[in-house]
Amino acid sequence: MSIRKITEYPAEVLGKVGKPVTEFGEELQKLCDDMFETMYDDEGVGLAAPQIGLSLRLFVMDCEGIKLIAANPEIIETSGEQSGQEGCLSVGKVPAVVVRPDKAKLKAQDVNGEWFETEAEGYAARCFLHETDHCDGKLFIDHLPKMRREMVIKKFKKEKKLYG
Ligand code: NI
C-alpha cells in the first residue's frame, strides 16, 4: 500500500466527469487500498479517484460506521434537507456550510463488480453526495453561492501559501 499525492483545486482532473470503472478484482482492490491509506493519512472520511489524479468514477469512504468502495456510483434517491459544514481534501479542508438532501440512496458496484444499493442519512449521506459529485467532476464549492465560493478559494490559497 502507498499514500498517493492529493490533487488539489484547481487541477483540471477535478472538473472532469470520470471514466467508468471497467476492470474489477485484485488491481482495483490495490488501488482502493491506496485510496483508503491516503484518505486516513489526511484524516478524511471519503476520497474519490480524481483526487489522486485519476479520472475514474470511483470513491472510497469510511464515515459514521459506513465503510465502502463505490465504483460507478449513482445517487438514485434523495429526500429531506440538511445544512452543515463540509470540507474537501482537494480544497485544503477549508470548511463551508453546504445545503444537501438529508437522506441519500447510493447505487454502485463493489470491488468485484457486484451492484449494491445502500442508504444513509446525515453526515454519511453528505459523504455519498460529496464523493459522487467528485466522480461527476463537481466540487462542494460548486454548491456555494459565488461570494462564498470565492471566500473558500481565497482562504485555501492563503493557507497553501503559509503552510505549503
Ligand atoms: Ni472532496
Task: Compute the distance from residue 122 Cα to the ligand 1 centre, in Å.
Answer: 17
Indicate if the pLDDT at residue 142 is higher than 90: yes
Indicate if the pLDDT at residue 139 is higher than 90: yes
Task: Compute the distance from residue 56 Cα to the ligand 1 centre, in Å.
Answer: 14
Task: Compute the distance from residue 93 Cα to the ligand 1 centre, in Å.
Answer: 8
pLDDT digits (tens, 9 = 90+) for 31-68: 999 999 999 999 999 999 999 999 999 999 999 999 99
Task: Find where cell 437522506 sits.
Answer: 103
Half-sphere CA count of 163, side-chain side, radius 13 A: 7
Handedness of CA 152, 50, 123, 62 (dihedral sign): negative
**Whole-model pTM over 0.95:** yes
Using alpha carbons, select from 57, 22, 19, 51 the residue that is nearest to residue 38. Answer: 51
What's the average model confidence in pLDDT over 101-124?
98
Predicted confidence at residue 31, as pLDDT, reads 98
**C-alpha–C-alpha distance, residues 102 and 39, integer Å:** 24
- Which amino acid type is present at position 4? R
Predicted confidence at residue 39, as pLDDT, reads 98
**C-alpha–C-alpha distance, residues 11 and 29, integer Å:** 25
Predicted confidence at residue 163, as pLDDT, reads 81
pLDDT band of residue 84 (cuts 50, 70, 90) is very high
Which are the catalytic amino acids? Answer: 131
Task: Compute the distance from residue 112 Cα to the ligand 1 centre, in Å.
Answer: 24
**C-alpha–C-alpha distance, residues 78 and 125, integer Å:** 9
As a whole number, the mean pLDDT across the chain is 97
pLDDT band of residue 75 (cuts 50, 70, 90) is very high
Predicted confidence at residue 162, as pLDDT, reads 86
DSSP secondary structure code for residue 14 in this structure: G
DSSP secondary structure code for residue 5 in this structure: P
What's the average model confidence in pLDDT over 110-114?
98
**C-alpha–C-alpha distance, residues 36 and 50, integer Å:** 14
Please give the domain boundaries of the chain with CATH numbers for all domains.
12-83+100-142 (3.90.45.10)
Answer whether 96's CB lies under 8 Å from 87's CB. Answer: yes
Task: Compute the distance from residue 87 Cα to the ligand 1 centre, in Å.
Answer: 7
Cell of 18: 470520470
